[in-house]
Structure 1
Amino acid sequence: MNARPDSRRVSIPRQAPLIAALALALGGLSDAGAAQAPLAANFAQASSVQASLQASRDALRRQFLLRNGPLPVAPDRTAGTVTVDNCDDSGPGSLRAAFEQAVSGDVVDLTGLACSTISLTSGALTSGVDYLTLNGPGADRLAIDANGSSRAIALMGGYGELKIDGLTIRNGSYTYDGPGTYGGLADGACVLAEQYVTINNSTLENCSASGKSVHGAAVKANGRLTLVNSLVSGTEATAAADDISATITGGVISGGASYLTDTTVRDATVSATTTSAYGGVLGGGVFGMYGVVMTGSTVTGVDVQVSAAKDAYAKGGGVGSPMTVILDRSTVADNSVRGTPGFGPGEQGVYLSAIGGGGVYVMIVPRSSPVPSTIVNSTISGNSALCEGEIGAYTRGGGGGLGTWAPVPVAIVNSTVSGNSTNLNGGGLYTRARGALALSNATVTANRADNGAAIADLADEAAFAFATDSSIVAGNAPLAAASAVDLVTAHEVSGANNLIASANVTLPADTLSGDPLLGPLADNGGPTRTHALMSGSPAIDAGANPADIPTDQRGEGYLRVWGEAADIGAFESQPLPDAIFADGFD
């Protein structure tokens, strides 16, 4: 049995609110900026999508490490093992006893338990060590249940990592009701850690946090947060204040940088309400201060509502970051942001509400050295961004699917933006300030808004034109008006081989228009849903493959070029994979 550590750092430090937290990033990252290899402004110039994507991932990692510091070396010894023998709340052989006995670097072994639930009746499992690993028998075999009366797990050592594998953690609850200061945060009701967190093959469900500010109601890590092959569902995050602002960053999960692989975040309720000041949410489902990377993952069913006496900031219903978002073979669907309108001049200036990015919102701070955001082989669908109240001169925003003011183009490649809506600007995509977009082999359809039914590129300060190659922007509709054009832009449109039904500017001479004859958004193969091209579609064999992509959005087994030329859009019309190789070639 391992010796008990001499001291435990279990106090939870005071942290900055949304505005102050974002301000931490404003100093600039000149070293990271010099080292990174960003995606091309026009994706047609990229020789390899995957190489460019990896370059952005590497640059994001450097950016995080530059500001957050590297993970310290784990203890230089063989990890000790503390075995849990029973499912009691406390006492010899219990999980609580293991937390008390474990020293930094130990593994708490729960794999031999035959019982199905450890019910926490005397508070959270808390440790002050730096490194700790919990190994369970499988998420379907063992649950740690906090019964809605306390946090579940908190690792408060300042320099290490919490690892969890093969467990369900449920019904964690934390409420902060102390003094009205920004330091009083409610976060990490199921899992809280001062530094890195890695969660594999696990389920977190019915986690709830409430207070004047919330960071990650289900999981909060100040360092890197990694979830692999896991599920987070049924989260509630509630920020409410009468005397100060109410803010939330990461209603469900919040990390210094957040990485999701083969993971689903679903069904969450996120609300920020203040009766006298500012209310804000950035990233209702997933938030990463230094970036979010999703690979083969899904964020769905997150509902965000912000009600504020002055200005409401409601952005990124599914995913939000002040720096970088990378989606690869992922889906952000059926999320929403709702906010109240701003009301105009006041004692502290003009109160402007900003509401946007029902699915995804990308800010990019610092402005001097951003790591480019990329959406590749992914679908953003069924999201909404709505102003609840009379829209006037003091309400900004839009982007039912995605909103951005990133000063380097957000690249949307081999991807689908479908069925999103807003009563502001840009049913599918929206830019403002210096924001920019670059589409390549993308399909933007069935979105709804009155100003830019598909896309509203209103970034009149941007250094880049609106760029699109071999993409479909058609089949979109107004939300309430009699009519709306598909593309509204403050710039010239660059690129070639597109099908754009309507726009407010002159389009390149080779642009097609009319009905692309798309099938419904459906499972047509691959990990994400797509719109198939129906027989007779003018998009068939009329496109190009400027980035030399080997497959269409569906990935392996679905060629990017089949026939005389590539098709326009994210989907390539072709026989099923088995039929392609029916002659024996592989």
Structure 2
Amino acid sequence: MKNQQTIRWVLWILSVTAILLTAQVAKAATLNVDTNDPACSDITGTPYCTIQVAVNNTASSDVIEIAAGVYAENVTVADKSLTFIGENKDTTIIDGGHANSVLTVTSVTNLNINLEQLTLRNGTAAVGGGINMALGNLVLSDTDVSNNTVTHVGGIYVGSGSIELVDSSVVDNTATGTCGGVYIASGDLTLINSHIDDNTAAGGGGLYVINGALTLTESSVDDNTSSNIGGLYHAGGFLTMDHASVSNNQTTTSYGGMYHFSGDVNITDSTIDGNTAAGNMAGAYIESGTVTITNTSISQNNSVGTVGGYFQNTGNLTITGSTLDENTSQTGTVGALHHANGITTITDSTIDGNSATGIGAIYQQTGTLSITNSSVRDNQSSSTAGAIMSVGDLNVLNSTIENNHADGTAGAIYQTTGTFRLTNSLIANNTSDQHIGGMYVTGNFIGTNSTISGNTADDHIGGLYLISGGQLYNMTIVNNSADMDNDGIGDGGGVYAGAGVVTVSNSIIALNEDRGGESPDCAGNVTSGDYNLLGQDTGCTFTALANDQIGTGADPIDPEISNLFDNGGETFTHSLLDVSPAIDAGNPAGCFGDGGVTLTTDQRGYPRPSGSACDVGAYEVGDCGDGHLDYDEECDDGNGVNTDACTNMCLTATCGDGIVQTTVDECDDGNTVDGDGCDSACNEEAAVTPTPTPTPDPVDEPADTDTDTDPSTSPTDTGSTANSGGGCSLNTQALPTNYVGMIGMIWLFTITFIALRNRRHTPSNT
């Protein structure tokens, strides 16, 4: 009896739930609009002729389905949450006729408005030509808002709430005042696979978000135009860009691409390219926040004023795997990146081909700048620094600073205040029309395992100018030139020590040039830390220690190095030829860097020492078989196997070298001659056997005419039992899965039927 009561209660609860669910579903009605249907009317139950009449007959949360057609309307929704669904955005069009906003939503409470597969066009109003919504959450899916003209906010305006655009676009809208595309005064804006493009305004061509998160995913804010802030303005909140683009926007004053006022920023796999500003800040301007930029391009932005590419005022900045290329500040401070105050960390990135009046590529105004595994190339400045200016600590690791030019002070780097650490890096072929071809350093300089090569200055120092002194460990400073115009102004082709003392250890300073002849390799107060190779000491106060190799003007020492080449590692290096006096000429106790730290690798990251002592300079000659390719090796796989593609002599295996290459050669007799058993392709040749002369039989035997065939050996004999099982064969194929399932269902049905039948005939205890 208890079981029966339980069953009745369960059935009652399920019935009530079903009724409630049915009632809930019934609350949302679907109304149809079809202006092309001859039967359309204002009567409920028939398709409505206009969207407005349908709206008037809806309750909140209803759905209005709109057939294909052009609806010349200015629709108003008051205090209702509604969903509008068209057949297709290309065929279902609401045309405002430039009479008012295409869609106006009024409410004192938060509403939800959804638009799907529609086009809203040709609205004209004071605010919000396409959509004007005071309060609520707006979602557009596969919908276009276009060709609207207003005083403020050409496309979409939401006062407070949220906006989400999915597979939608806001394009070709115009505002004579603020914001051509999308504006939300308070709330979040989310774009997913959507586009805010080709809009025009006096301020903020693309979009405005005043207070809320801005998220762009696989979306674009491109080709917008404004007299101030061409692309987007984000006043406060978290900014996220993922596979997004803010590109080719332009402004007649400042901020061509984007302006972010406050809040953290995360930009991934995106582009901020081709923006222009007739004033300042063409690419991106970040006032404050912690910024992370990954796998992103900030390139080809062009400003007449201060910064071409990227400016950040405060907060830390991390750039990884990105490019800042070909940005231009025509008359302003910085070409690529200006960080006013904070920590900048750049890794695995390229900063190439930028130009400015002041600093060609990077200006770290205050704070610390660190560059790792990156390149800074082909940047130009008409005054201060071709590549980098840093006021504060500067760290350059495993990086290349190359082919930069300045008309003024420093071709590559100008560093003041703090400590500059150059490690495992290359400073090469930078030029200055005036003072220093390579680096001008007023802070404390610590150079380790690095190469300074081929830098030139018309007037003063070719390679490195150290005002306050510094330390050089395992450095190679070669082929730099001072006083290129030979006017007698300037000294120090390689290193010039200013007021401070420069201590040099285990380093090569040679083959540098001073056109006036005063001090080719070094000038000023340069002191030995031992185990150095100085090409010539002319014009230098260098005092040799016991293990230094010092040349003179009359008898300079040639370090016997190769040209700059890719010898492995992150940067190019000068390898030591096998006759170089720098080989094994370092400290036999080990290579030591700043603070006595043992250096276990060279500039390339290859082990050192490889011989009895470290090699002098930034390059360590390895042994054949160490797995590292050196200048005189064709290959080095480091495996000790002589029969693979690389021999134990570090030569590429070839046919004819006398070594049989596994899986490649059948033979190798040390030559490429055919006909000797191993041909010219190292394939075995078959032995040549002479054909014997036949001898006639003395007696002609009759030919055997017996054509009998042994049935036991004839494969075609029908009496043969070969390949026969001698009887029937057993088919062991398993039953199909569906048969097993069918049998299981039959058993389940049978058991259930029997149980119900038995229960029916069981006497009740009541």
C-alpha separation in 2, matches of 1:421 and 1:5: 60
Partner of 1:574: 622
Q: Which residue matches 2:378? A: 301
The answer on 1:515 being equivalent to 2:565 is: no
Offset, 1:5: 7.7
Residue identity opposite 1:207 in structure 2: N
After superposition, give the CA deviation of every residue in 1:234-264 in whole Å (9 maximum; x if it has no partner): 111122xxxxxxx62x332011233211111
Alignment of 1:24-173 (within 5 A): 82-89=190-197, 99-100=207-208, 103-104=211-212, 106=213, 108-111=215-218, 118-121=222-225, 123-136=230-243, 144-146=247-249, 151-158=255-262, 160-173=263-276
2:743: which partner in 1?
Answer: none
Q: 2:295 aligns with which of 197, 201, 226?
A: 201
Q: Could you tell me how far 1:233 is from its partner in structure 2?
A: 1.3
Q: CA deviation at 1:494?
A: 3.2
Which of residues 386, 389, 392 in structure 2 aligns to 1:323?
392
Q: 1:236 to 1:203 in 2, by over 3 A?
A: same
C-alpha offsets along residues 516-537 of structure 1, whole Å, 9 cap, x if unaligned? 0010011110111110001110
The reply to whether residue 443 of structure 1 matches residue 476 of structure 2 is: yes
Q: Report the Cα offset of residue 580 of structure 1.
A: 7.5
Q: 1:386 aligns with which of 413, 433, 456?
A: 433
**Cα drift, residue 6 of structure 1:** 6.7
In 1: Cα distance, 2:528 partner to 2:273 partner: 50
Structure 2: which 5+ residue stretches go unaligned? 1-136, 139-156, 162-186, 484-490, 551-556, 629-635, 642-766
| Corresponding residue for residue 456 of structure 1 | 496
Equivalent position of 2:407 in the other structure: 338
Equivalent residue pairs, number: 417
Among candidates 386, 392, 399, match of residue 436 of structure 2: 399
1:581 Cα deviation from its structure 2 partner = 3.9
Question: Aligned partners of 2:523, 2:604: CA distance in 1, in Å?
Answer: 29
Question: 1:465-544 maps to which residues of 2 (within 5 A)?
Answer: 465-478=501-514, 480-482=515-517, 484-489=519-524, 491=525, 493-503=527-537, 504-509=540-545, 510-513=547-550, 514-544=557-587
2:526 & 2:323 partners in 1: Cα distance? 43
Aligned partners of 1:262 and 1:571: how far apart in 2?
23
Q: What's the offset of the Cα at 1:507? A: 2.2
Give yes or no for the alignment of 1:253 onto 2:345: no
Which letter maps to 1:471? S
- What is the alpha-carbon distance in structure 2 between the residues aligned to residue 101 and residue 4 of structure 1? 10
Please list, as runs of the form range in 1=range in 2, the aligned pairs for 1:184-263 lying within 5 A after superposition: 186-187=280-281, 189-196=282-289, 197-211=291-305, 214=306, 216-223=307-314, 224-239=316-331, 248=333, 250-255=334-339, 256=341, 257-263=343-349
**SS at 2:513 equivalent:** coil
- The aligned counterpart of 1:552 is 602
Deviations 1:171-199 (A, max 9, x none): 212233xxxxxxxxx23x11111013322
Contact persistence 1:5–1:103 (CA under 8 A) = no
- 1:564 is paired with a residue whose SS is coil
Residue in structure 1 matching 2:356, options 256, 270, 282: 270
Q: Is the aligned partner of 1:361 residue 2:414?
A: yes
- TM-score, normalised via structure 2 length: 0.51
CA distance in 2, matches of 1:568, 1:580: 25
- Distance in 2 (alpha carbons) for counterparts of 1:191 and 1:568: 45
Q: Kindly state the Cα deviation for residue 166 of structure 1 after the two structures are TM-superposed.
A: 1.0
Q: Following the alignment from structure 1 to structure 2, what is the Cα–Cα distance between the partners of residues 207 and 231?
A: 12
**Aligned ranges 1:14-29 → 2 under 5 Å:** none
Cα 1:331–1:405 shift into 2, 3 Å: same
Equivalent residue, structure 1, for 2:69: none
How far residue 145 of structure 1 moved from its aligned partner, in angstroms, is: 2.4
* AA partner of residue 540 (structure 1): I
In 2, the alpha carbon distance for the partners of 1:300 and 1:175 equals 26
Q: Is the 8 A contact 1:331 1:380 kept in 2?
A: yes
Aligned equivalents of 1:203, 1:326: Cα separation in 2: 23
Kept after mapping to 1: 8 A contact 2:399/2:426: yes
Q: Answer yes or no: is the 8 Å Cα contact 1:146–1:172 preserved in 2.
A: yes
**2:461 pairs with 1:426:** yes
Q: Deviation at 1:401?
A: 0.9
Q: Report if aligned partners of 2:214, 2:237 keep a CA contact under 8 Å in 1.
A: no
Question: How many Å apart are 1:538 and its aligned residue?
Answer: 0.3
Cα distance in 1 for partners of 2:350, 2:607 equals 27
The answer as to whether partners of 1:284 and 1:320 remain within 8 angstroms in 2 is no
When Rg is computed on C-alpha atoms for both structures, the one with the higher figure is 2
Q: SS where residue 144 of structure 1 aligns? A: coil
Matched-pair contact (CA < 8 Å) for 1:295–1:330: yes
TM-superposed deviation, 1:87: 2.6
Identity %: 25
Secondary structure, aligned partner of 2:326: strand
Q: What do residues 262-287 of structure 1 show as CA deviations (whole Å, max 9, x unaligned)?
A: 1111112212xxxxxxxxx3x42111
Give the TM-score normalised by the residue count of structure 1: 0.66
Give 1:32's aligned residue. none
Kept after mapping to 2: 8 A contact 1:496/1:508? yes
Contact 1:83 1:98 in 2 (8 A): no
Structure 1: give runs of 5+ residues left out of the alignment: 8-78, 177-185, 240-246, 272-280, 307-313, 340-354, 365-369, 388-397
Distance 2:284 2:246 in 1: 13
Partner of 2:175: none
Q: What is the rounded CA distance, in whole Å, between the counterparts of 1:6 and 1:337 in structure 2?
A: 51
Whole-Å Cα distance in 2 between the matches of residues 568 and 326 of structure 1? 23
SS in structure 1 at match of 2:376: strand
- Deviations 1:306-365 (CA, angstroms, capped at 9, x unpaired): 3xxxxxxx2x311111212110111111111113xxxxxxxxxxxxxxx2x21111110x
CA distance in structure 2 between the partners assigned to 1:421 and 1:293 by the alignment: 25
CA deviation vs aligned residue, 1:192-228 (integer Å, no higher than 9, x gap): 11013322111122111223xx1x3200001233221
Q: Which has the higher contact order (CA 8 A, sep 6+)?
A: 1
| 8 A Cα contact 1:143 1:168, kept in partner | yes
Query: Is contact 2:198–2:222 with CA below 8 Å preserved after alignment?
Result: no
Task: Give the C-alpha shift of residue 483 in structure 1.
Answer: 6.2
Query: Aligned partner of 1:553: which letter?
Result: Q
Tell whether the 8 Å contact from 1:437 to 1:467 is kept in structure 2 after alignment. Answer: yes
Whole-angstrom distance in 1 between the partners of 2:205 and 2:542: 71
CA contact (8 A) 1:87 1:119 kept: no
User: Contact 2:406/2:433 (CA < 8 Å) preserved in 1?
Assistant: yes
Kindly provide the amino acid, as one letter, of the partner of residue 82 in structure 1: T
Which digits, 9 at most, give the CA deviation of each residue in 1:532-553, with x for residues without a partner? 0011100000013013112110
Amino acid at match of 1:403: Y
